[in-house]
Structure 1
Amino acid sequence: MSLLLPFVPLLIAMLVLMAGSAFCSASEAALFYLSRDDRKRFAQGTRAQKRVEQLLSEPERLLTSILFWNLMINILYFAIASRIDAVLRTQNHSDVASSFTLATLFGLILFGEMLPKNLAVLWPQSLSAMVSLPITAAMNVLRPILPTFLMVNRISLRTLLPNFEREPYLELRDIERAISISTPDKTLAQQEELVLHQIVWLSEMEAEELMRPRMGLTLYSAPVTLDDLRANPPNCDYLLVTESDSEEIERAMPLAQLPNVSSTHLESACERVPYVPWCASGAATLDLLRSTRSGLAVVINELGETIGIVTLDDVMHALFANPAVRQTSRAAAQSIEPLGDDVYKVNGAITLRRLSKQLKFELPLVKSVTIAGMLQEYLERIPEPGDEVLWGNCRFTVIDSPRPGVLTATVERLRDEQLPGDTAANGGAI
């Protein structure tokens, strides 16, 4: 050890550089280990947490900056170590020089890389907030030259790993053939084929067919407290808050987050919801939910009015639930049950577009979105059992209405000779 005493200043510098390398390694692990839920919470958190979310909004720039500074620190570290090694060898202390070089190498790997990263993944939330300010400063120093680094990175990626052109589409029969060839287990192949069928079916399905109609939702206007939820409990797994001057849904929050928020002004913990038109495909709706990192989207009609909501659970249910099971689950409230020739039993929550599309009925336009809304509009009161409405070329008969907004009815397609007067064009109540 006495041989290293003349190098004490250089050794202190190496320790400082090792600490800098450990900081870079821990920062990288903590920032990129944060989950989607962590980032959503950080976006509404403290100033440091918001800074973390801002850093992660530019992941390529962030990672390039951290790796650049880590590389510079490691180069300086080994440059000093090489200088000490060279001096020791000129003094004929080759054994000490070799041992010192190995010690510095393993020391940097252990204390500058492995240990900091292992500790960072244990407490990513607190550490990421702590390092956000110095990492932001480090990025700002490199900001003038970062575009050059990013361009070199893209050129190298395109040279070494060129992108393959995507096919414009893949036929379902090609997927089925690939599954049958690659999977000897017929039971498993049938399950995979079913899921793939439903994935393709999702691209053909409209958001309106996936949504939960607005009529069955509990909405709240700000300010919202826990007492409001106790007095009028939500009937879905989200707290839905409307705009201050209308009944349109503006914000939402999963009910699972209620234990983590204050009991008053719950709307402040809610996040703005994305909007999707009723005619958007299920695949487009899923893309919107993924890109916005939201669990819920509001479905609007042609006039921009809220007609329902689609949650991520609804989309996943449509993808992975067996069609036979799907008709007996939550969606059973919107099922269409055939009773005979051109006679069907329907639930009032079914949208009119879905009824027209699925049964190929030609129905006139109406302001209401659901069957229950249309019946109430024509009757000009709450529908009751026994009420009949002729709408288009169909007769709707209410058979059960246990409470307002919830009803079961039959719909019968009538032949032209069964239609009285001009009811086929305008519709009306009997």
Structure 2
Amino acid sequence: MNEFLAAAPLWLPGVTTMACLILASAFFSGSETALFYLSRDEVQALHRGGARERLVAGLLADSDRLLTAILFWNLLINLTYFAVSVVTARHLISRDYSTVAGALSVLSVAAIIVFGEVIPKATAVTFRRSIAVIVSIPLAMAVRLVDPFLPLLVGSARTIRRILWPNLKQEPFLDVGDLERAIETSNLGADLIRHERQALQNIIELSDITCEEVMRPRGTYTVWPPPVHLADIRGRLLQTDRLYIGSADQDDISASVALDAFNAFPDLDLQASATPVVHVPWCATLSGALEQMQERGAGVAVVINEYGETIGVVNDEDIVDTMLSPQPSRARRVLRREPVLEVAPGLFHVDGITTLRYLAHRLQLPDEPAPDGVLTVAGLLHETLERLPAVGDEFSWQGWVVRVIDAESRGAVRVMFSREQTPDPQPEVEADNARLD
């Protein structure tokens, strides 16, 4: 003990420095665990919180950048810590305090493990949301300091990965065949098995259905210019669950607010509670759009055409309806009513926004891709007539007579489908028999 006290002037500065480095290591280790242990629902709730909570959600929006910065600082701190430990031990050894140097080396390793990793991570798991909010500002500053070096770090990591694992592919968590076998071997009732099979089929079709087929077309929703306050929208939102906020410099959607997620609307700028959006091309599959939305924590995918113009939006509610509904319908979600009405046996009134996939299901027609990529009844009218439809236009399609019964100036159309009358061969047979007689 006397030897430790006698050597205090030698090891005290180094131990003090290492204690500060342990606190810094604990900060980054706990921050990493707290932020990345947050669930998706917790992150969505942070988007609607205060300034610090929204800052946490903003950091998690670019998780690769956040993780790279945390690992960079943690590595730098740990290297500095052990460098100080080695220098302090060498000073002690040079003054014939070998025992103190050995004890200090062992204790320094134990201290960085226990107080720099184990305790901070265990605490962060339990109080992850509170800790994430507390560390948000200093962590954001630390990430900003690393930004100039991030391209170099990311490029180096990508180069090493391509050199060492050029053909590395991510293994799927669950194959479609596994789901099918699970349903077949489950002891469920016939009705439940039928619903399970339908849901499974809908999930599989996500990789075939394009965003253009599911999206809410432009004109069926309102884009609000920023800033948007509660007083601006009071009494003007009708039958909508989401608020779309445009960009300040162009006619585009930059964020969205899920209105049904609020227990009470905040009086401040609603844009502060908005979540980001992702942009996908019209030909992107629904599964690809869903993957991007999950990665970015977005609730909306903005669909653009080949010219970069916004042509519609896809909400997470639209994707859930497509997966779980026995008869998913884009038109029913937009119109909030049934788009295909049977007004008489074999006679249907159909809205132009209805997809041909849903119409084929209602009319019991084979679900085959339409020529030239036509997706909706309105598109079928334009493709067949080669002009804007007018009331009274009529043509035949797959055994049905299609007649336009309503054509508004803004482009909304409504048509009537009736079965084609097949000619009765009996009169011709009787006429032939009469001539033979």
Q: Report the counterpart of residue 427 of structure 1 in structure 2.
A: none
Deviation at 1:17, TM superposition (A): 1.4
Residue 199 to residue 69, structure 1, CA distance change in 2 (3 Å): same
Q: 1:105-154: CA deviations, max 9, x gaps?
A: 443333332334455544223313214435655786x8798579737963
Residue 76 of structure 1 is matched in structure 2 by: 83
Alignment of 1:205-354 (within 5 A): 205-214=209-218, 216-221=220-225, 224-241=228-245, 249=253, 251-255=255-259, 256=261, 263=268, 266=270, 273-299=277-303, 308-319=312-323, 321-323=324-326, 333-334=337-338, 336=340, 343-346=347-350, 348=351, 350-351=353-354, 353-354=356-357
Counterpart residue type for residue 4 of structure 1: F
Which consecutive unaligned segments of at least 5 residues does structure 2 have? 424-437
The one-letter code of the counterpart of 1:412 is S
Please give the secondary structure, in 2, of the residue aligned with 1:228.
helix
> Would the alpha carbon gap of residues 175 and 326 (structure 1) be closer, same or farther in structure 2, given more than 3 Å must change?
farther
Q: Which amino acid aligns with 2:19?
A: M
1: distance between equivalents of 2:376 and 2:183? Answer: 48
- Judge conservation of contact 1:296–1:311 (CA < 8 Å) in 2: yes
- What SS does the corresponding residue of 1:240 show, helix, strand or coil? strand
Give the structure 2 partner of residue 124 of structure 1.
Answer: 132
How far 1:212 moved relative to its partner? 3.4
The separation in 2 between residues aligned to 1:251 and 1:153, in whole angstroms, is 36
- Answer whether contact 1:31 1:52 (CA < 8 A) is retained: no
Amino acid aligned to 2:21: G
The residue that corresponds to 1:422 in the other structure is none
2:417 to 411, 417, 429: 411
CA contact (8 A) 2:276 2:298 kept: no
* In 1: Cα distance, 2:258 partner to 2:197 partner: 33
Show CA shifts across 1:204-226 (max 9, x none): 22324423355543444556432
TM-score (norm: length of structure 2) = 0.63
Contact 1:337 1:344 in 2 (8 A): yes
Secondary structure at the counterpart of residue 200 of structure 2: helix
CA deviations over 1:297-337 (Å, ceiling 9, x no partner): 23456787655421012212322x2516989x958735546
Which letter maps to 1:125? V
1:3 maps to 3
Structure 2 CA distance, aligned partners of 1:407 and 1:222? Answer: 33
Report if the CA contact (8 A) 2:352-2:376 is conserved: no
Shift of 1:163: 3.0
- Contact residue 202 and residue 281 of structure 1 kept, 8 A: yes
Q: Is the Cα contact below 8 Å between 2:47 and 2:57 reproduced in 1?
A: no
Q: Is the 1:218–1:235 contact (alpha carbons within 8 Å) kept by the matching residues of 2?
A: no
- Matched AA of 2:3: L
Report Cα offsets for 1:6-50 as digits up to 9, x if no partner: 2334133123213213313322431464355599789x989x979
Report the identity percentage.
20
**TM-score, normalised relative to structure 1:** 0.64
8 Å contact 2:34–2:131 — kept in the other structure? Answer: no
Please, which moves more after superposition, 69-78 or 363-372?
363-372
Separation in 2 of the partners of 1:148 and 1:271? Answer: 29
Structure 1 pair 57/209, CA: closer, same or farther in 2 (3 Å)? same
Flag structure 1 segments of 5+ consecutive residues without an equivalent. Answer: 380-387, 418-430
> Contact 1:51–1:132 (CA<8 Å) still a contact in 2?
no
Task: Provide the rounded CA distance (Å) in 2 between the counterparts of 1:135 and 1:244.
Answer: 27
Structure 1 residues 189 and 80 mapped into 2: Cα distance closer, same or farther (>3 Å)?
Answer: farther
Shift in CA distance, 276/41, structure 1 to aligned 2, threshold 3 Å: same
SS of the residue corresponding to residue 417 of structure 2 reads strand
Secondary structure at the counterpart of residue 114 of structure 1: helix
* 1:270–1:85 distance in 2 versus 1, CA, 3 Å: same
Q: Measured at CA, do residues 114 and 199 of structure 1 come closer, stay the same or move farther in structure 2, by a change above 3 Å?
A: same
Give the deviation of 1:281 after TM superposition.
Answer: 2.7
- Change in Cα spacing, 1:115 to 1:72, as seen in structure 2 (3 Å) is same
Once the two structures are overlaid, the 10-residue window that deviates more, 309-318 or 235-244, is 235-244
Partner AA of 2:418 in structure 1:
E
Q: Which residue of 1 aligns with 2:432?
A: none
Alpha-carbon distance, 1:198 to partner? 1.9
Residues 118/75 of structure 1: CA separation in 2 closer, same or farther (3 Å cut)? same
Letter in 2 for 1:411: F
Deviation by residue 1:365-424 (Cα, 9 ceiling, x = unmatched):
8999589999xx756xxxxxxxx643433445769x9xx99998753254699xxxxxxx
The partner residue of 2:395 within 392, 397, 421 is 392
Distance 2:151 2:305 in 1: 47
CA distance 1:217–1:131, shift in 2 (3 Å): closer
User: How far 1:296 sits from its partner (Å)?
Assistant: 0.9
Alignment size in residue pairs: 389
Which of 94, 113, 117 is the equivalent residue of 1:113?
117
Per the alignment, do residues 389 and 353 of structure 1 end up closer, same or farther by CA in structure 2, a change over 3 Å counting?
farther
Whether contact under 8 Å (2:254, 2:277) holds in the other structure is yes
Does the 8 Å contact 2:48/2:272 carry over to 1? no
Alpha-carbon displacement from aligned partner over 1:143-178 (angstroms, at most 9, x marks no partner): 79857973796389749xx835879xx8x6x44664
Question: Higher mean Cα deviation, 306-315 or 215-224?
Answer: 215-224
Equivalent residue number for residue 163 of structure 1? 168
Could you report, residue by residue, the CA deviation over 1:39-81 in whole angstroms, capped at 9, with x for unpaired residues?
Answer: 9789x989x9799579854356425423421331342354367
**Offset of 1:232 from its aligned partner?**
0.7
Once residues 154 and 246 of structure 1 are traced to their aligned partners in structure 2, the CA distance between those partners, rounded to angstroms, is 39
Q: 2:203 aligned with 1:199, yes or no?
A: yes
8 Å contact kept, 1:18–1:77: no
Contact 1:19 1:112 in 2 (8 A): no
Contact 1:277 1:302 in 2 (8 A): yes
Distance 1:290 1:66 in 2: 27
The aligned residue for residue 16 of structure 1 is: 17
Change (3 A) 1:39 1:155: farther
